[in-house]
Amino acid sequence: MSVRRLAEDQFQPAAFAFSDENAVWAEKTIQKYPAGRQQSAVIPLLMRAQEQDGWVTRPAIEKIADMLDMAYIRVLEVATFYTQFQLHPVGTRAHVQVCGTTPCMLRGSEKLMGVCRSKIHQHPFERNAEGTLSWEEVECLGACVNAPMVMIGKDTYEDLTPERLEEIIDTFAAGNGTSVKVGPQIDRHLSSPEGGPTTLLDDVTVTRTRAGKAPAAADGAPVPPSEAARPKSTDAETNASLKTPATSPKASAKNAKAAEVQPLSGTAASEPAPKATAAETTAKPSLTDKNRPAGIEKPAAPDDLKMISGVGPKIEATLHEIGIFTFAQIAGWKKAEREWVDSFLNFRGRIERDDWVKQAKALAKGGEAEYIKVFGKKPR
């Protein structure tokens, strides 16, 4: 981390003034804060001064301090604390801030700084011969998940390789910086996994085969590569999934019809069931299956099923739709019933893994106190 000092006198201008437009903006910004709190505008004003002149000069710091009725040292403290403020003249087309904190360092930030040394200047804060580029090392910029990364202006460029950073620097040097894609530089959406999402795939039901073939989405959609790379299910898991009632397209249609016409316990019969996707229609067990746990009418004070680890608001609402409202009901589920619900929720064994029955038994017996006694921790 560099020592942050004001630029030497030779670089400092004699005075600073906001442009007419920026002066109007600054006045409006200051007025946003209650009387006596105008100094809260110090960061926006310093940023505007930097955007106007390219860096934060000593006269700008003093001018802003006067405008906000602050001691010069207080504004200097802010300007020298945040690396977003440039205290020296920087490249007119790009000032590259390379994150050198641990995650980025482990993922190759040293090599990125090597690129900056060779393409811009051997030393940070020194400009290239044309005065268009400069660079520095900074601390974590908050995009560690896509390390290594750099920031140029207000944008971040992530998942970098030395080669990609060279291309980016060349593009900025040519004055075409706005054409560079910001954010991840690989096949990744924001901070999602490489190659596509692997969780919360509401519309994709992944099935595994006993033969261990590559998994395929039930609706024919491609399975993300990371999903394909996951360990295969155990025999127990496979057997459990094979016990899920198999349904032909014809049967599925019948089941879907049954779902429409069968009044759900405790649910207004007129309330339309959520539309099932093609995958869900195929995978879900029949609502008329003998293993479906018995539902009840909604009691005046249903239990808070979300206290069970693994049950969130969405799952609780689904349980309500099939007439499950109390801990006692869940505590009494037999294996076949658990499998039916697990399959209905497309949980792939989670009910067993989270041991809903044991949790529900404790909650039904003595609420939170009993739960703590059994599990040694509070329920959710």
Catalog residues that contact ligand FES under the rule CB under 6 A.
99, 101, 103-104, 140-144, 147, 149
Own/partner contacts of 260-268, CB < 8 Å, gap of 24 or more, are: 262/287, 262/288, 264/295, 264/321, 264/322, 264/323, 265/294, 265/295, 265/296, 265/297, 265/322, 265/323, 266/295, 266/296, 266/297, 266/298, 266/320, 266/323, 266/325, 267/298, 267/320, 267/321, 267/323
Do residues 219 and 205 touch, judged by C-beta distance below 8 A?
yes
Rank residues 106 and 214 by Cβ distance to ligand FES and give the closer one: 106
Single-letter code of the amino acid located at 303: D
| Cα 291 to Cα 221: distance, rounded to the nearest angstrom | 30
Q: For residue 127, how many other CB atoms are within 10 A of its CB?
A: 18
Considering only CA atoms, which of 208, 296, 198 is closest in space to residue 244?
Answer: 208
> Would strands 150-152 and 155-158 be described as parallel, antiparallel, or unpaired?
antiparallel
Measured between alpha carbons, how far is residue 176 from residues 107, 123, 130, 139, 173 in Å? 27, 24, 16, 27, 7
Output 108 or 215, the one with its CB closest to ligand FES. 108
Q: How far apart are CA 357 and CA 331, in angstroms?
A: 5
What is the token pair recorded at 96? 């590259």
Distance in Å, CB of 161 to ligand FES, minimum: 15
Closer of 101 and 286 to ligand FES (Cβ): 101
Contact 80, 119 (CB under 8 A): no
Which of 97, 281 has the CB closer to ligand FES? 97
345 within 8 A of 367, measured Cβ to Cβ = no
C-alpha span between 293 and 271 (Å, rounded): 21
Shortest approach of ligand FES to residue 168 CB, angstroms?
Answer: 16
CB burial of 245-275 (b: ≥16 within 10 Å; e: otherwise) equals eebeeeebeebbeebeeeebbbbeeeeeeee
| Shortest separation between residue 162's beta carbon and ligand FES, angstroms | 16
Smallest distance from the beta carbon of 125 to ligand FES, in angstroms? 20
Which amino acid is located at 257 in the chain?
Answer: K
In terms of CB distance, is 141 or 360 closer to ligand FES? 141
Distances in Å between the alpha carbon of 59 and those of 56, 81, 303? Answer: 8, 18, 65
**3-state secondary structure (DSSP) of residue 207:** strand
Nearer to ligand FES, 65 or 144 (CB): 144
